[in-house]
Amino acid sequence: MPSLLNQSANLVAFMRVVEAGSFSAAARNAGTTPSAISKAIARLEGELGVRLFRRSTRTLSLTADGQVLFERAAPLLREIDDLGDWIGRCAMLS
């Protein structure tokens, strides 16, 4: 059974690609290279044992497994971001 907690950086890269629509745009938004994003996605796909994207030179789309991962992971990662914001506010109040 894969441990997705160990894959958190790769999950964030996955979410960035989905939201940006391309590896290049996700890399620009993250301040990294398309190669680094591609490697993160490859590690995540290897850990999960599934393909997450259909790739061609012109298009990028989610596979059925990628769609399920996105639908399940997006709310969790947003909650983690919200928790980080809350922790930041608490630290400012103390």
Give, for all 94 residues of the chain, the pLDDT tens digit: 557 678 889 999 999 999 999 999 999 999 999 999 999 999 999 999 999 999 988 899 999 999 999 999 999 988 888 888 889 888 888 7
Neighbours of 33 (CB within 10 A): 13
Q: What CATH number is attached to the domain comprising 85?
A: 1.10.10.10
* Number of structural domains in the chain: 1
pTM: 0.84
Range of the domain at 89: 4-93
Q: How far apart are CA 24 and CA 91, in angstroms?
A: 35
In eight-state DSSP terms, residue 50 is S
| Contact between 13 and 41 (Cβ < 8 Å) | yes
Q: How far apart are CA 61 and CA 53, in angstroms?
A: 5
